Amino acid sequence: MDDHVPDHPNGSSPLRIAMLVPPWYELPPAGYGGLEQMCAALVDSLVAQGHRVSVFGAGTRSGTSAEFVSTISQTQHPRLGEGLPEMLHVTRANRLIEEYQADVVHDHTAAGLLTASNRSVPTVATVHNNPSGEIGDFLSGLDPSVGMVAISAAQRRLRTDLPWTATVHNGLATDRVPSTAVVPDGDPDDDRPVLWLARFSPDKGPDLAIQACRAARLPLVLAGKCTEPGEQRYLREVIAPMLGPDTELVLNADRRRVRSLLRDARCLLMSIRWQEPFGMVMVEAMAEGTPVVALDRGAVREIVRPGVSGLVCTEPDELPDALRQVTGIDPQSCITHVKEYFSADLMARRYTRVYRSVMSSTLHNPSQMFAGAGTGARF
């Protein structure tokens, strides 16, 4: 990690931060919403560290400690996947942000990045998606003034040509992390179920989870987001025919149920096929003292420490043995791992350095803030 980042002239002063979030869900989310969970934790930690933060979002409330500015009275999750709701949200938010007189805008939307160069203050943008294909091409065409932040080194490797400014791992709110583990450990005959927790998509591998648990003769809970037509079709046509008495199906669980599922699981199974850019659910599981068994894809090895907080497999046929052996992982070591590397306080300190670096670049070179800065820094 590079801590030698140029500081803003008023580096010790609190910052005035405009946090622009998508219009789909509240902060923190009541159910699905890894991006929103990360943003809520970041906002609360920034406020606790003395900064003034205003969240620009949709709906009538925010569960964070920041000021909340709404662009529309209803969250737009029923229209998730459409372009116009986010474009309208960003258009309204940009006008409000100008009135707010921020030092920096932290943008978590896609549409907002197209207008970032028109803002009177610099923009830091966290890329939450896999930057391959069309998304990567979109990002490559952004104005160079946008300070682009990756959430993992694995994500950056997918498009090394993008002008990354920094890499900052996502973090979890400290009040979510218990002091000690409360789950049993070390018993290979542990009858608690394996948990798969994701959206229903081939990329997330729920079919691989069923096959691995069946081969290991272990019960499985498939807990997934299933609200969009493609997710519902995949569940109906591919996953439902594979279900049996050894598999429990839980759809669209709220946050309280999710935490209960994580706490009561033998382990979290990440049977992913795609290059996961981060995987916040792994941090959530480890924070409950629940180890992770995962396929070595994307950022898995940046999040899970093999033998300490979980087990990492190269191929799907290795998963059954790992599921049987994972009870040897000490739950307390999982919790310690999260506290040391994935706390929201650490994430907020790293982002503060990114903000000040972007502000310093703007101050010294306002016309071309990040030209030629493609290598970026790890904060």
* Beta-strand relationship, 104-107 and 247-251: unpaired
Tell me what the mean pLDDT of segment 261-288 comes to: 97
Fold of 16-174+343-378: Rossmann fold (3.40.50)
Residue listed under structure tokens 């931060």? 17
Level-2 CATH architecture, domain 178-341:
3-Layer(aba) Sandwich (3.40)
370 pLDDT band, cuts 50/70/90, is very low
**Which sequence spans correspond to the domains of the chain?**
16-174+343-378, 178-341
pLDDT at 120: 93
Share of residues in the chain with pLDDT > 90 (%):
79
Residue 201 has pLDDT above 90, yes or no: yes
CB atoms within 10 A of CB 69: 19
Burial of 187 (0-12, 13-18, 19+ CB in 10 A): exposed
Tell me what the mean pLDDT of segment 6-30 comes to: 80
Instruction: Collect all residues with Cβ–Cβ distance below 8 Å to 303 and sequence separation of at least 6.
Output: 152, 169, 278, 279, 282, 283, 292, 342
pLDDT at 190: 76
- By mean pLDDT, which of 78-82, 139-143, 148-152 is the weakest? 78-82
The answer to whether residues 46 and 71 touch, using CB atoms and an 8 Å cutoff, is no
Question: For 32-88, how does the pLDDT look when each residue is reduced to its tens digit (9 = 90+)?
Answer: 778 999 999 999 999 999 999 999 999 998 899 999 999 999 999 889 888 899 999
- By mean pLDDT, which of 33-37, 273-277, 340-344 is the weakest? 33-37
Residue 376 has pLDDT above 50, yes or no: no
The answer to whether residues 152 and 167 touch, using CB atoms and an 8 Å cutoff, is yes
**Mean of all residue pLDDT scores within the chain:** 90
Structure tokens at 144: 């160079």
- By mean pLDDT, which of 4-13, 127-136, 262-271 is the weakest? 4-13
Q: How many CA atoms lie within 13 A of 324 on its CB side?
A: 9
Structure tokens at 279: 């995987």
- By mean pLDDT, which of 149-153, 348-352, 364-368 is the weakest? 364-368
CA distance 45 to 233: 39
The answer to whether residues 200 and 225 touch, using CB atoms and an 8 Å cutoff, is yes
Residue 208 has pLDDT above 70, yes or no: yes
Question: For 288-305, how does the pLDDT look when each residue is reduced to its tens digit (9 = 90+)?
Answer: 999 999 999 999 999 999
The answer to whether residues 214 and 193 touch, using CB atoms and an 8 Å cutoff, is no
